Chains A and B, each alone.
Chain A
Amino acid sequence: MDKANSLMRAFRRLGFDGWAIGAVAVAALVATPLIAVVIIAVAPSGDIWSHLSSTVLPLYIEKTLFLLLGVGVGTFVIGTGTAWLVTMCRFPGRWFFNWALLLPLAVPAYVLAFVVTDQLEYAGTLQVWLREIFGWKNRQDYWFPEIRSLGGAIAVMTLVLYPYVYLLSRAAFLEQSVCVLEVSRTLGKGPWRGFFSVALPLARPAIVVGVTLALMEALNDFGTVEFFAVPTFTAGIYDVWLNMNSVAGAAQMASVMMVLVLALIGTERFARRGQRYHHTSSKYSTLPSHRLESWTAAFAFVACLLPVLLGFALPAGVLTAYALEFYSDTLSAKFFTYAANSLSLSAIAAGLAVLIGLFLAYGSRLGGGPVVKAATRFASIGYAVPGAILAIGVMIPLARLDNALDGLSQQVLGIPTGLLLSGTIVAVVYGYVARFLALSYGTLEASLDKITPSMDGAARTLGCTPGQALRRVHFPLVRGSLLTAALLVFVDCMKELPLTIILRPFNYETLATFVFQYASDELLEESALGALTIVAAGILPVILLSLTIVRSRPGHPAGGMAADTGPEVAVP
């Protein structure tokens, strides 16, 4: 008893209480796969590093940096540009683009890569058409950009990843007080300069978060870069693992990548240290919408149409055409079972990721200091780790635990339990949570940050325990963001491949794994219906997502929820 007491005191001396201990424990659980990766990395990997650095490492780094630069700039320009247009300007189609601009989020990058190549290569629709028009006979008659290239990879990833930036910057623009924008007008800045000198800097945290998410996805992508034959760092990780048979080497590279991502995020946070982005004005009115005239309206229309067209309509259309032709292959397989598997798996993972994300964000809000913060940040770095490597990180500790349980059960009960966790979809769900926690944790952390701490104080002085305060005050206030977080994780789980394929149990197919067995041999057509279903399943969440943003604007007449915090996504 005394001992327990003094232990509690020792913890408190470190700034811990029950919630903080719980938060650290949960964070540790989620971070276990990452820690496992680091532990694998400790094993010797021979001369792999000297081989890499004398051969392809500079190339990996160069390609990765250019990929990140390209995707970063691309998602930033498209994401914030379109968000600004649909929030601040009036032009035909604005309401449609409001939600349609989110649609490419539902398209897996490897699907778009396949479709784009299919359409743009020599035998593709565009070039056939060009040849007909200009009477070119063969390849030597004209120049056409190489599709399977770094540029192609940047274009494809930008098109499917810009919605993160769009989603976040739009929410941020919607939240900006009109007063601030009007002040910039009175100080002689036109709407465009106001955008660059006021709105953009104010939205910086949100934009940074969106771009970071996009970059983390681009960084860990393997399918697209493999298809486009771009030797990125992640491609190198797979090569070291599978061709040079060095898991340790691959884990080392993955660990280096984690450190770099953490450093990058840390640098950005340091760069805007001391700056606060709370809004000083609480006066909101309907945003002034700037009516665009003929040419500018046409420009805005095209600027918003292109990303939707290329990122969504094109792949959806091509997939539909394939699906009409090859539906029998998909339907003769257990298509509906696969769809049900995908949906239930993604729903469970989304639910868990949101609960854990909320718990961690609230736990670190309650205090506990740097230890809790560091633990939760580390736990949500899984988003930047290549999926298959993370899968190994999930598998090894789970199998250890299973084997220990099995041994115990055989000893005590005489019954073997086999692989209770690692052989079941528990492993897949665990992997999803470890991978996508960044989405839910970040979203909820940002959302909780907007609730003034005196709300907590008020609830506590009125007799609520921290748990009751969470249930009665914070939970209803962040409802919108909970939905946002759940939907983002859901859509990502639907598309997720490497974790699913490695961790799933026998005879268990999801739409993504079903599509993959064809896509892995560049036979996407045969599984087009499956791919189309993945895209379609993402549309409803995307529309819901869009509605929550509009509802969330402060002062927006939506059920008196003046402080309902808008959907916002953030990373550690």
Chain B
Amino acid sequence: MSGLHLNNVSHAFNSGNPVLNGVSVFVAPGELVCLLGPSGCGKTTLLRVAAGLEHLQVGQVTIGERVVAEGRHGKHIPTEKRGIGLMFQDYALFPHLNVLENVTFGLPENAADRRQWALSALSRMGLADYAASYPHILSGGQQQRVALLRALAPEPRVLLLDEPFSGLDVTRRVDIRAETLGLLKETDVATLMVTHDPEEAMFMADRILVMDEGRVIQDGTPVETYFEPLTAFVAALFGPVNRLQGMVRDGHVATILGDFGAQHLEDGAPVEILIRHEGLRLSATGQGAEIQPGENPCKPAPVDNENSAGACGRMLSARPLGRSSHVELVLTAEDGTEIILEARIPGVFLPQPGAEVLVTANPRQTHVFLAS
């Protein structure tokens, strides 16, 4: 076994509340695994345990073939002997050293080839002119790249990234993410990255581990995790959702938007249906904006497949966001209760408030879970 292996790690701080609860993570060489979860879920602690900055309490940490930490009173290889790289959220560049000195900090005195590598990497990243500058004059993006190069310079077998892009402007983030991914893919390093940004995780990861309250609750590829969430929590983590309540009847749940399959659930179980904002499709029902009073312009939509359904809704608001539009609409159930749904529609979609629209849900983005 090589790469990074955290086996059944549990951890608690002085207060006694467990931060990690039997977590196991495996990262293969060349693989990039993202730990995704809300703040406080223990993901950063896991990273620090892997690095040895936090003493292991329960479990085992293996790097390459070597067990580096075992149990509370067992083996503990100090951080500096583990052959890992760690990039901190605040980058932690040494303010008293210039850029080149920062990057070469972890290199032995005689590593001429790696020094050469550092210089060429700097120029590849467009930082050649800054080699002799001190960190505080660099922009956030530049600091991030220096921190990454510094972590990679000693050729670690394992790279740990703690929220590496959170300090960057949204506009720069996308470019730097791609650049970082490119750089990592050139190496054979096993990378464990912590983030709370699902889009970032989707973009970067070969595998995503979703964490909540000190446990790993799902482990899968980005596509699996997004389209087949195991819990409502995971589903909601990847973006805003509409929530509907229902009850299982004959393997189906009837909702205002139609029936959804729930074969895996017991009959009579109360369930929660989560529909992603982008999983709602809207189509104008009238022939234009004018709808005659008293007329019901909604026509039942054709059924695509067994899960697909549709209903008529009234626009409350619509705001363009650039690449997409955010829409709020209200549906009236048979018993007269109103349900407000939100949707995200590609492009510019701006019916007048009050307009009637046909709402359908994409079954791939609709998930049924037992109500908790």
Contact = CB atoms under 8 A, between A and B. Distances in A.
Interface of A: 9, 12-13, 452, 454-465, 468, 472-473, 476-477, 555, 560-564
Contacts of B52: 460
13 contacts: A12-B76, A13-B73, A454-B88, A458-B86, A458-B92, A460-B78, A460-B80, A461-B51, A461-B53, A472-B105, A473-B94, A477-B96, A560-B134
Given A457-B51, A560-B134, A463 B106 contact: yes
Contacts of A459: 94, 105
Contact of B88 (A458, A468, A476): A458
B92 A454 contact: yes
Interface in B139-181: 150-151, 154, 156, 160
A473 B80 CA distance: 14
Contact of B134 (A9, A13, A454, A562): A562
Contact of B92 (A452, A555, A560, A561): A452
Given A452-B90, A454-B88, A560-B134, A460 B79 contact: yes
Contacts of B82: 461
A462 B150 contact: yes
Contacts of B72: 13
A456 B88 CA distance: 11
Contact of B53 (A9, A457, A473, A476): A457
B80 A465 contact: yes
B96 A461 contact: no
Given A472-B105, A560-B133, 16 more contacts: A12-B55, A457-B79, A458-B86, A458-B92, A458-B150, A459-B105, A460-B53, A460-B79, A461-B79, A461-B151, A462-B151, A463-B106, A465-B78, A476-B96, A561-B134, A564-B95
B136 interface: yes
Contact of A458 (B94, B134, B137): B94
Contacts of B151: 461-462
Name the residue in B82, B106, B150, B156 with the highest tally of chain A Cβ atoms < 10 Å from its Cβ: B106
B85 A461 contact: yes
A561 B150 contact: no
Nearest to A9: B73
Contacts of A454: 88-90, 92
A477 B82 CA distance: 26
Nearest to A554: B136
Given A9-B73, A462-B150, A563 B95 contact: yes
B84 interface: yes
A461 B159 CA distance: 10
Name the residue in B55, B89, B98, B136 with the highest tally of chain A Cβ atoms < 10 Å from its Cβ: B136
B129 to A, nearest CB: 16
A114 B79 CA distance: 59
A13 B72 CA distance: 8
Contacts of B92: 452, 454-455, 457-458
Contacts of B351: none
Contacts of A468: 80
Contacts of A562: 95, 134-136
B73 A461 contact: no
Contact of A457 (B88, B95, B105): B88
**Minimum-distance CB pairs A-B, first 5:** A462-B106, A560-B134, A562-B136, A563-B95, A454-B92
Contacts of B89: 454
Contact of A455 (B80, B94, B154): B94
A12 B73 contact: yes
A63 to B, nearest CB: 43
A463 B134 contact: no
Contacts, number: 90
Q: Sort chain B's interface into a size bin.
A: 35 or more
Contacts of A12: 55, 73, 76
A222 to B, nearest CB: 43
Contacts of B55: 12
Contacts of B88: 454, 457-458
Nearest to B93: A458
A455 B105 CA distance: 12
A278 to B, nearest CB: 12
A564 B90 contact: no
A473 B72 CA distance: 29
Interface in B23-74: 48, 51-53, 55, 72-73
Contact of A561 (B73, B79, B90, B96): B96
Contacts of B156: 461
Nearest to B108: A463
A485 B78 CA distance: 31
A564 B135 CA distance: 13
A453 to B, nearest CB: 9
Contact of A462 (B53, B105, B135): B105
Given A458-B88, A477-B95, A561-B95, A463 B154 contact: yes
Contact of B80 (A9, A463, A561): A463
B90 A462 contact: no
A452 B151 CA distance: 18
A472 B95 CA distance: 12
Contacts of A465: 78, 80
A9 B75 CA distance: 10
A456 B52 CA distance: 12
Contacts of A457: 48, 51, 53, 79, 86, 88, 92
Contacts of B136: 555, 560, 562-563
A220 B82 CA distance: 51
A9 B78 CA distance: 15
A215 B62 CA distance: 54
A361 B133 CA distance: 31
Contacts of B135: 562
Nearest to B134: A560
Contacts of B84: 461
A5 to B, nearest CB: 10
A291 to B, nearest CB: 29
Contacts of A472: 105
A129 B218 CA distance: 90
A562 B82 CA distance: 31
Name the residue in A462, A476, A555 with the highest tally of chain B Cβ atoms < 10 Å from its Cβ: A462
Contacts of A456: 53
Contacts of B134: 560-562
Contacts of B137: 560
Contacts of B94: 455, 458-459, 473, 477
A285 to B, nearest CB: 13
A463 B151 CA distance: 10
Contacts of B96: 473, 476-477, 560-561, 563-564
A453 B98 CA distance: 20
A458 B92 CA distance: 7
B322 to A, nearest CB: 29
Nearest to A562: B136
A444 B198 CA distance: 42
A9 B151 CA distance: 31
A12 B154 CA distance: 30
Interface string B187-216: 000000000000000000000000000000
Interface string B108-146: 000000000000000000000000011111000000000
Contacts of B154: 462-463
Nearest to A465: B80
A477 B92 CA distance: 13
B80 A464 contact: yes
A472 B92 CA distance: 14
A9 B73 CA distance: 6
A472 B106 CA distance: 11
A500 to B, nearest CB: 38
